[in-house]
Structure 1
């Protein structure tokens, strides 16, 4: 069994109040808009990290990370990218990746809106963890935590923190 923390849209700022969740994680999955390499490297102090770059990430981050990754965790396959949907339905490359790889879990970021649902058509759990940083339209900072136990996803929790800006940043 692996304990996973999913995070996105940190934009160079990760609140210290998230540290206790990072320390419990076997893996942290970051769905892009990290902000800078310092922020990415700070996550590596707490757990193994799988991450993709987002639309605001600079060339340094883009040279270190991929736009989209496909990987396994326990007996689940995961597809992670920053922008998961285009304005024109079924019109972008991610739909081709979904058709080709048939992931069990699809992780995205970008919208700053936390959303978790099961896509019956593609038979996959879709997770957008919202935004964990200070920049953007969101009212609270959010991350998603869950366990993967072979075929099962268990103990899915949403962690919300107040949006107050503070110097309590790990990056």
Structure 2
């Protein structure tokens, strides 16, 4: 079994609960609204990181972060975009098995047309009444299972 950690919308805050959850992951995917480049450094101390830029990622450091990413991990093709409304490919036609997004702060994992669409939710400061969460992809036996985890009980 392999784990790929998914996190989004940290907004400059990498909680100890998120760090603990991501321990042991083979790779970490950040789906944008990082807001502080030190977040990426802290995540990279846990595992290799792939990240995309969110609408709140501004400044010179953010220009080096792509708006989208096509990543192959553990035999899976993932497409990462901050806002699902900006999805600019047909995932199934491109052989993508998982689309990872953020932006809405609403955690969700849904399969459509053979593709998982996973939003890990927001791991940063609380917003509205939404949970503080992250997610993982469990890769085992040639299959993938997403799992969303509430990091802080409110």
Residues 108-134 of structure 1: CA deviation (Å, up to 9, x unaligned): 0000001110012xx200000110000
| Greater C-alpha radius of gyration | 1
Q: TM-score, normalised by structure 2?
A: 0.89
Aligned residues: 154
For 1:46, the equivalent position in structure 2 comes to 46
Q: Which residue of 1 aligns with 2:89?
A: 96
8 A contact 1:76–1:151 mirrored in 2:
no
- Residue 137 of structure 1 deviates from its aligned partner by 2.5
Equivalent of 1:134, from 125, 128, 137? 125
Deviation at 1:44, TM superposition (A): 1.1
Does residue 19 of the first structure (1) align with residue 13 of the second (2)? no
Partner residue in 1 for 2:152: 162
The CA deviation at 1:48 is 1.0
Counterpart of 1:114?
A: 107
| Unaligned stretches of 5+ residues in structure 1 | 86-91, 165-171
Q: How many angstroms apart in 1 are the aligned matches of 2:32 and 2:129?
A: 16
Gaps of 5+ in 2: none
Tell me if structure 1 keeps the 8 A contact 2:29–2:49: yes
Q: Counterpart of 1:148 in 2: which secondary structure? A: strand
User: Over aligned residues, Cα RMSD in angstroms?
Assistant: 2.0
CA distance in 1, matches of 2:104, 2:12: 17
What is the CA-CA distance between 1:36 and the residue it aligns to? 1.0
Number of the residue aligned with 1:167 = none
